[in-house]
Structure 1
Amino acid sequence: MQKKNIHFLTQAAMIAALYVVLTFIANAFGLANYAVQVRFSEALTILPIFTTAGIPGLFIGCIISNVLTGCALPDIIFGSIATLIGAFGTYKLKSNRFLAVLPPIIANAVIVPLVLKYAYGIEPLWFSFVTVTAGEIISCGVLGLILAAVLNKYKTQIFGTV
């Protein structure tokens, strides 16, 4: 039992660390925050298909990323909650990876534009809905599905019994 808990915590920590590193890479290209966002780290929202450790790992990684990239407090809170909702939804839909990418896309498409408007004053709201949704489709939908296909070949070696 203790070995299983250590394995879970290690996976969650590694996922959080990967999320932070990938967010910093996107941030270096100006893609991590504000109206136009293509966070490479959001591709990791596919991981709850393979391990439940992805849920807390993504949430903690998003919190750390948002703090370290200088996001406003509402963004830190609600942006991270959007990622948590998306990760949990992905886990619930894990039997169909094409449907499993939808929860993070939808959660971020609904929550993040509102955060952008009220935390940063970014207008018009419709533009944020379009750009955030497009970025999430690229990150979660395209990159996430590519990542899932690659990881599926090695899932037992990487995640243990799935």
Structure 2
Amino acid sequence: MNAIKNLIEKLCDLVMHGRFSDETEVIANAVSEVMSVVATEELPEKHSTMMQEVSGVNNAGNVVPLAATDTPLQKATRAMMAMEQFLGEQYDLRFNKLTSETEFRKRNLSGACFQPVGQRELNSFCIEARKQGIDCWDRDVSRYVFSDSIPEYHPFSLYMD
């Protein structure tokens, strides 16, 4: 039992001091489940308050505390939807069927041309989203940008119309 408590304390300290990146939610949820089995009253107070520090994103893209009853799937879905909304508000994205590349342009920027999305752009998208408080990582952005969620277009069809 003491070994479990020591493990929980170490994990909580790692999470609270930011030594984990995208694994934080997974670890926080695991710690929460283990703590419910272990005698929680014997653990330091900071461990129970750690769970209150985990936050999510509302529809407006603002960081808000998550309800204690939210499942990991609900948290991940909320974060994914916030990321998609953010990218849709900031960028026009399309999949070029001729080149088989996803292209983007900044919205509300007069004369902006579509450019292929590369690793540098993916990183910039992710950084901008995180600056807005959206809990996403580069692999999440990449998964979305290179999916069939992005509308297709063919340059010849655009030219003929």
TM-score clears 0.5: no
Structure with higher helix content: 1
Higher Rg: 2
User: Which of structures 1 and 2 has the larger relative contact order (alpha carbons within 8 angstroms, sep 6+)?
Assistant: 1
